[in-house]
Structure 1
Amino acid sequence: MSHTQFLDEMIREYLLYRGFGSTLKAFDAELKADKMKSFRVDKIIDQLIFFINSYDLSSLRELWGHLNRHMFSKLESNFLPMLPYVKNPEENPTFALHFTKQWQDKVLISLHNFLATIIQYMPTPTLMHYEEDVTKINKLEERNDSLKKRLALLLDKGPQASVTPCQVEHPPHLLDDFYVIAQENNLGESQARSLRNIIKNMSSSASPILGRKDVINKKRVGK
């Protein structure tokens, strides 16, 4: 029994419990005429093959129209409207593939995979998520019980209980913007200090240019 069929049985049980007889009859009638076969891809493919083999064109077109409206409505096939107007479609590069034996052998497999992919990604109602929610709640309850037992064991042992230490990694060395600015200021100050030292040395007597000027001035004064 598929997930959808299980939900159908739950709905039938609820309708019986509430006494909704007319609603239950309408629901059963809709289930019998269900074209989607409870979203079972194998059943849909079997139904299509049955209509083809029995030459039931009206039923085939009705089922395909239902699939086209509810599942294929977002597909774009711009080249299909031109098919009736192509003289030899089997020789046309656009349609030649669909007339090969290889494509005919794989068309049912491709259709099966295509329908399975569409059904898998169809938006589902909230009611169909109940199993997922129940599983999540059960896991949370098991985790909660495990933590309660661990806490009770630690309380029973008292202060001598051996608690597994939590390994905490040391954070890496952090550098903020102010640290970078301070480093830049220090670099600027050192460069300015070096420049002042150079100027000071140039103005000292050891400088050949300035020393030569001093000698000339002394000679002039001596004269």
Structure 2
Amino acid sequence: MYVINAVVNNKPDKVVDFFIKMTPELQSQNEWRDWFVLPYVKNPEENPTFSLYFTKQWQDTLLVSLHNFLASIFQYMPTPTLMHFEEDANKIAKLEQRNESLKNRLALLIDRGSELSVTPYQVEPPPHLLDDFYIIAQENNTIDSQGKSLKNLIRNMGTGSSPILGRKDTSSTSKKRLGSASGRSMKTGQFTDT
């Protein structure tokens, strides 16, 4: 098609340039062997070898076939990233507009918030909504108080507050009487038979 358009538009230098550049690739293909004489043929549209390629029907068929071929390729291959450029640019523009509108709304709410005088109010949670950690903290307080009372009991065992252990001897005579009557030796603290 390129070569035919160059001949029709009377540009023989383009035809020669084409064959110079494409010779290494085309010279081994049999269907191109006759085409190398095209720049030297007078009235190629009348030559039986090339006359078909100068018809409008052949050119239209080639364009439709090329269009179908490219459409099939584009249908089955993933879309190149570059083709998403416009779609991505539109998405970014919409996101930027949304971001600006949200910034404006936030600024408006902040301005209104400074105008309003709202006092915070502390609300106690209802008793049935207390969590487990609150209950554990309350149990720890009772355990601590029980532990302290046990420590106080042990501490007070040796003092006068205990009815049994803290009893003091009021008379030494009663001890002697008790010791002689029971046969106990005061020095050794052992019982003897008397």
After TM superposition, the score normalised by the length of structure 2 is 0.25
Ranked by relative contact order (alpha carbons within 8 Å, sequence separation 6 or more), the top structure is 1
After TM superposition, the score normalised by the length of structure 1 is 0.22
